[in-house]
Amino acid sequence: MDYRKYRCNLWERLGCLTAGTAVAAAIAWLFYRSWYGMVLVIPVNYLIVSYYKNKKRDERAKKLMIEFRDAIQAVAAALLAGYSIEHAWKEAEREIMDLYGKEAMITKELIQMNAEIKLNRNVEEILHDLAVRSGVEEIQSFAEIFGFAKRSGGDFPQIIRTTAARISAKIEVEREVDTVIAGKKLEGKIMSVMPFFILAYLNLASGEFIDPLYGNLAGVLVMSAALLVFVGAMAINRRISDIRV
């Protein structure tokens, strides 16, 4: 599996399409009072699908990083118990299967890894392949260090423990950052939907006040500019709140 790309299933695609259609309909009525605005359903649906895919990909990458940390900790324990590096991954497979189950991402990767090890494929090559597919910086770093240590005879248990500690520290920092900015993210989401509510209120309570903005070229240009500013503000808000550790 290429973890750098997320593929939506049928239900996820239908959900995104429904959300995109609803947002496009709201924009068509609130900004243009015309169903011609429904032409926006195509770019809106594209943006929603892209956002959903990126979000699910990032969530999967975080989950894979946590599972990988537990896997290499199991490998380090097996090495300290006297197993060879190849057999240590097999022991890790048993522990991880008990911990996460057979359907977990890392369990499937370990099963595939041990099957390839039986075919005499080098462990470092298998790890390099996983690192490339994962798109996770920590896994990529571990694969590079592991390959160098195996060629030069490094201290595998210490290397693995150090990598696991780094991953754990990053996970903890990310959790702390998420906790600190959770309130700001909520404020950003509220501010993102406020223009819709304000326009809906004006249309329902004081429709004659904003009537000049509809049904003419000047009004279409003004509302289109307002919509672009609104979308730009949402993009800036998302970029500011998306803190990478």
pLDDT digits over 206-215, tens only? 778 888 888 8
d(C-alpha 44, C-alpha 165), whole Å:
42
d(C-alpha 53, C-alpha 58), whole Å:
9
What pLDDT sits at residue 205? 83
d(C-alpha 211, C-alpha 202), whole Å:
10
Whether the Cβ atoms of residue 210 and residue 202 lie closer than 8 Å to each other? yes
What pLDDT sits at residue 154? 64
What pLDDT sits at residue 243? 66
Model pLDDT for residues 59-98, shown as the tens digit of each residue = 899 899 889 888 888 888 888 888 888 888 888 899 999 8
What pLDDT sits at residue 109? 92
d(C-alpha 78, C-alpha 91), whole Å:
7
Closest CA to 72 of 116, 19, 131, 14: 131
What pLDDT sits at residue 44? 87
What pLDDT sits at residue 105? 92
Low-confidence ranges of the chain (pLDDT < 50): none
